[in-house]
Chains A and B, each alone.
Chain A
């Protein structure tokens, strides 16, 4: 579904991604972890072309992301993305947030879009908040709306960029639960996160990045059992230490 081959990316003269290659098969859940500044967020943003890259190739469902001829808007409409800071539109109601792209991009009618929104809101447990503005919701609720907004487009894959990093600890689980459910339903997911509990529970593979490189790319059990690299071992010991 998602093929990433030899991606190099520079900001000016600083190289932030070095020969990154990995893939996400249909129905697979891949967790990307690593210390901050390791390039994991940048990599996931390359997948839907929010960040340009200089070398290498990424294809999603066979469509090359970096190609000049690719209609990026069309491709992005098929890939859901959830951001660290939710990025709900503050001037619109929760329902309008979920309906905007359905109507403007997919051409659904208002009624269709609203029905879809209502269904998804009930699924993420937020039906009673449909008419509120994002500012009236907690972080966890906002992030669940953001997930509903992405799902409303019937995506073929979902990208999560540190979806729980901006949340207060007591709200992390309500978001992770929605993600676990999605994973169990067979959604193709690429998830940048430090939540190793989530990775253990639903990931098929774990990708570990450091300093712009993919250091380890292994089946979940292999990764948590015996990470081959020192850097991954150090990282795991640090973040698993306080659990």
Chain B
């Protein structure tokens, strides 16, 4: 059996569309997840028992669920509740956002705790409020400390977007599968998919390592 990698070039536009969707989902879910995660982390550290408990429950709950199950809820169960379909894209996006927020919030909590209490005291001592101290002093330093870990989690998220085939979304992985089946070129296409994921994720990891080196100084 001869390999025919020409099939890849013929279907490049189709595959590129899939890759664009994978990136779009990753970026939107990461952005939404981080915003939600900051709120969760601040609730957890607020010192108010009720808020901390809600946040802890959220995090522990989502960390105990398989991601694919969360996607199914929004695709199959939520439409039953609200009476209309959510659609594949929004099901996936909401599921990823809620799911990633649980992981991000633990990273962000650690990041906030890595900023010394003296910095908070310094902010308060000049008359800044809690919110201002967080926004201008603590969070910028926390994000700087945790950027490498957040990016690493982002790489994991990018790989996880391949799960959206379950709701018939055409991400990169799904596009590859479609081409592979239609053209009968499973080996070539899955080797190609592996190469693409490897190049993207590995260069991401290298970048993270460079950032870490830079921040360590």
Residues of chain A having any CB pair with chain B under 8 Å: 45, 48, 50, 72-74, 76-81, 83, 85, 87-91, 100-101, 104-106, 149-150, 153
Question: What chain B residues lie within 8 Å of A73 (beta carbons)?
Answer: 124, 127-129
Question: What chain B residues lie within 8 Å of A90 (beta carbons)?
Answer: 141
Shortest Cβ distance from B125 into A: residue: A81
Give the distance to chain A from B130, nearest Cβ to Cβ, in Å.
9
Q: How far is the CA of A48 from the CA of B124 in the complex (A)?
A: 9
Given A50-B121, A83-B118, A87-B122, the answer on whether A105 and B128 have CB atoms closer than 8 Å is yes
Shortest Cβ distance from A106 into B: residue: B127
Shortest Cβ distance from A77 into B: residue: B127
Closest A-B pairs by Cβ, 4 of them:
A77-B127, A101-B126, A87-B122, A81-B125
Contact with A along B57-81 (1 / 0, CB 8 A): 0000000000000000000000000
Give the distance to chain B from A208, nearest Cβ to Cβ, in Å.
25
Q: How far is the CA of A72 from the CA of B126 in the complex (A)?
A: 11
Q: How far is the CA of A1 from the CA of B119 in the complex (A)?
A: 27
B11 at interface by CB-CB < 8 Å: no
Shortest Cβ distance from B137 into A: residue: A89
Q: How far is the CA of A105 from the CA of B125 in the complex (A)?
A: 11
Residues of chain B having any CB pair with chain A under 8 Å: 116, 118-119, 121-129, 132, 136-137, 140-141, 144
Shortest Cβ distance from A50 into B: residue: B121
Question: What chain B residues lie within 8 Å of A45 (beta carbons)?
Answer: 121
Q: How far is the CA of A101 from the CA of B132 in the complex (A)?
A: 9
A-B contact count (CB 8 A): 64
Q: How far is the CA of A44 from the CA of B39 in the complex (A)?
A: 33
21 A-B pairs, CB-CB below 8 angstroms? A48-B125, A50-B125, A72-B124, A73-B127, A73-B129, A76-B124, A76-B127, A77-B126, A79-B125, A87-B116, A87-B118, A89-B141, A91-B140, A101-B126, A101-B127, A104-B128, A105-B128, A106-B127, A149-B126, A150-B125, A153-B126
Question: What chain B residues lie within 8 Å of A153 (beta carbons)?
Answer: 126-127
Question: What chain B residues lie within 8 Å of A106 (beta carbons)?
Answer: 127
Question: What chain A residues lie within 8 Å of B126 (beta carbons)?
Answer: 76-77, 81, 100-101, 105, 149-150, 153
Give the distance to chain A from B34, nearest Cβ to Cβ, in Å.
18
Question: What chain A residues lie within 8 Å of B137 (beta carbons)?
Answer: 89, 100
Q: A83-B125, A104-B128 are known contacts; what are 18 more A-B pairs with Cβ within 8 Å?
A: A45-B121, A50-B124, A73-B128, A76-B124, A77-B126, A77-B127, A80-B125, A81-B122, A81-B126, A87-B116, A87-B118, A89-B119, A89-B141, A90-B141, A91-B141, A100-B126, A101-B126, A105-B127
Do B118 and A91 touch across chains, with their CB atoms under 8 A apart? no
Question: What chain A residues lie within 8 Å of B140 (beta carbons)?
Answer: 91
Given A83-B118, A83-B122, the answer on whether A91 and B128 have CB atoms closer than 8 Å is no
Do B118 and A100 touch across chains, with their CB atoms under 8 A apart? no
Question: What chain B residues lie within 8 Å of A79 (beta carbons)?
Answer: 125
Do B118 and A104 touch across chains, with their CB atoms under 8 A apart? no
Question: What chain B residues lie within 8 Å of A150 (beta carbons)?
Answer: 125-126
Q: How far is the CA of A88 from the CA of B123 in the complex (A)?
A: 9
Do A85 and B127 touch across chains, with their CB atoms under 8 A apart? no
Give the distance to chain B from A63, nearest Cβ to Cβ, in Å.
13
Do A104 and B136 touch across chains, with their CB atoms under 8 A apart? yes
Do A87 and B127 touch across chains, with their CB atoms under 8 A apart? no
Do A101 and B118 touch across chains, with their CB atoms under 8 A apart? no
